Amino acid sequence: MSVILETRQISKAFGGLQAVHNLSFRVQQGEITGLIGPNGAGKTTVFNLVMGTLKPDQGRIHFKDRDITGRKTYQIVDLGIARAFQIAQCCPGKTIFENLELCACSNRLFSRSKYPSAPILQAAEQAGLTSELEKLPGMLPQAGLRRLEIARAVATSPDLLLLDEPFAGLTSGEIGALSRMIQELRDQGMTIVLVDHNVRSVMRLVDRVLVMSFGQLIADGSPGKIVADPMVQQAYLGTDHV
Ligand SMILES: Nc1ncnc2c1ncn2[C@@H]1O[C@H](COP(=O)(O)OP(=O)(O)OP(=O)(O)O)[C@@H](O)[C@H]1O
Ligand SMILES: [Mg+2]
């Protein structure tokens, strides 16, 4: 198995607050990796650093053996990384089809060659939105909006998908359906990093878990190993998350 993403001692401070501190981890290609930890641990900041939304103060980020540190977000999307935000970022005045089209066309690989109808329709199908394409996003229930948010990222045809709290606010049935969608994306070859506070659902889905606390990695291993780790228990799982 090969490493698709690697951070090497990355750090990011906001004023006096060290949000990410000397953080090194690897994500294996084809796996679903969970990234968990208490509020403020630095998980979303890690996604912002990988996507180029923020630049690390120190350290390097490698994707598919390429150093992507400091690249612009659109370049990183072109290289094959996409992220879904916890709060849907879609355009409310455009239809679901147009929202997916916008994302698919933002990947320059497609606009240089031909109209990306296949990625649009495939992303819609995987998200269960094929019959909703002419609707406006506001007509979707909460779980549908969440699926649209992920579909927008999928429409850019990424190799690596970063999901930030996709389960937040969903019922257990909706979480089950979304988990199946994430598994299907992985089965078709996508590598996924999943951040969520619903640890039980994360543990069911992932191959491996990274645990952050105060900007640092405090554990890295299989779900079984992480659940039994006393340091993780103390930093996070001892609360009512599990
Ligand atoms: N743009 C910013 N400016 C200042 N401080 C920030 C900024 N972004 C994040 N922080 C701070 O950095 C720390 C890490 O934040 P981050 O959002 O990465 O945590 P998180 O692990 O995603 O937390 P949560 O589980 O609550 O989403 C927090 O203390 C947060 O307040
Ligand atoms: Mg966050």
| pLDDT tens digits for range 89-110 | 899 999 999 999 999 887 766 6
Q: Which fold has domain 3-237?
A: Rossmann fold (3.40.50)
Quickly state the pLDDT bin for 116 (edges 50, 70, 90).
confident
DSSP 102-121: HHHHHSHHHHTSS--HHHHH
* Nearest atom in ligand 1 to 46's CA: 18
**pLDDT one-digit tens code per residue, 194-223:** 999 999 999 999 999 999 999 999 999 999
- Closest Cα partner for 103 from 53, 44, 157, 181? 157
Beta carbon of 17 within 6 Å of any ligand 1 atom: yes
**pLDDT one-digit tens code per residue, 7-54:** 999 999 999 999 999 999 999 999 999 999 999 999 999 999 999 999
Beta carbon of 44 within 6 Å of any ligand 1 atom: yes
> Is the pTM value of this prediction over 0.85?
yes
What residue segments make up the domains of the chain, in order of their start? 3-237
Beta carbon of 43 within 6 Å of any ligand 1 atom: yes
Instruction: Using DSSP bridges, classify how beta strands 216-221 and 208-213 pair: parallel, antiparallel or unpaired.
Output: antiparallel
For residues 175-181, average pLDDT: 96
User: Three-state DSSP class for 196?
Assistant: coil
Sequence-ordered list of residues with C-beta below 8 angstroms from that of 186, at least 6 positions apart, any chain: 30, 31, 32, 192
Beta carbon of 41 within 6 Å of any ligand 1 atom: yes
Atom 4 of ligand 1: nearest residue by CA position? 14
Q: Measured in angstroms, how far is the CA atom of residue 110 from the centroid of ligand 2?
A: 31
Q: Measured in angstroms, how far is the CA atom of residue 218 from the centroid of ligand 2?
A: 17
